[in-house]
Amino acid sequence: MSKVRRLVLDVLKPHQPTILDLAVKLGDLDCVDGTDLVLNEIDNKVENIKITLEGADINFDEVAAVIQESGGSIHSIDKVSTGETLIDEADTPQDLPARWMR
């Protein structure tokens, strides 16, 4: 079975813990080698963040438990990379700005 090497999540969380605290908690998991958290939107009570994780074999259940214990909820899994080699998304003509298509 192929192992999850990169995982990108859309998460809604309360203001506390901070994204710094959550990044450290996720980074402390044995299955996670690196974390990247980006604040996308903030309102009075919650924050919407994008979480990117990399590791040799990411355990989604462990990741989800840390997020839930921190008061967050996973809205969606936006990207998953598996296999021996990490592959970056390839650009297609639909991804290019219209001005490049002339």
**Average pLDDT of span 84-100:** 77
Can you give the pLDDT at residue 44?
A: 94
Class for domain 4-84, per CATH? alpha beta
User: What predicted TM-score, i.e. pTM, was given to this entire model?
Assistant: 0.88
- Cα separation of 34 and 79, whole Å? 16
User: pLDDT for 58-90, tens place per residue?
Assistant: 999 999 999 999 999 999 999 999 998 888 888
What the block records as the tokens of 80 is 């998953």
Can you give the pLDDT at residue 100?
A: 56
pLDDT bracket for residue 27 (50, 70, 90): very high
- Cα separation of 34 and 23, whole Å? 9
Domain locations in the chain as residue ranges: 4-84
Question: What's the mean per-residue pLDDT of the chain?
Answer: 93
**Average pLDDT of span 46-55:** 98
